[in-house]
């Protein structure tokens, strides 16, 4: 298992922050993404190598009602 790249971790953390602000559970977000029930749990866990793809970031932005840019850092990491 390898550590996520800083930009991958940034996206994971930003999605989690927005998910919690909107009171969306990991299970509910997985459902809205049309993936397995535990998908978001795996992505948010530091014990796995799972991460969000760019296509998934686009889907997350739609669900979280923001721009995909809002889920990415302003400057390179």
Give tens-digit pLDDT for 22-40. Answer: 999 999 999 999 999 999 9
| Structural domains of the chain, count | 1
CATH number at residue 41: 1.10.260.40
pLDDT of 54? 96
pTM: 0.94
Q: Is residue 75 part of a domain?
A: no
- Residues 6-26 pLDDT 10s: 999 999 999 999 999 999 999
Query: What is the pLDDT averaged over residues 45-71?
Result: 96
CA distance 75 to 9: 14
Q: Is residue 36 part of a domain?
A: yes
Q: Is residue 17 part of a domain?
A: yes
Domain carrying residue 28: 6-66
* 3 band by pLDDT with thresholds 50, 70 and 90: confident
In this structure, the number of other CB atoms found within 10 A of the CB of residue 67 comes to: 11
């Amino acid at each position: 298992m390898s550590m996520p790249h800083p930009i991958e971790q940034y996206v994971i953390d930003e999605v989690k922050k927005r998910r919690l602000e909107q009171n969306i559970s990991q299970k509910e977000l997985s459902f809205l993404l049309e993936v397995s029930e535990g998908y978001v749990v795996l992505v948010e866990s530091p014990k796995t190598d799972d991460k969000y793809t760019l296509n998934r970031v686009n889907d997350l932005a739609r669900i979280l009602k923001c721009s995909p840019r809002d889920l990415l850092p302003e400057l390179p990491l």
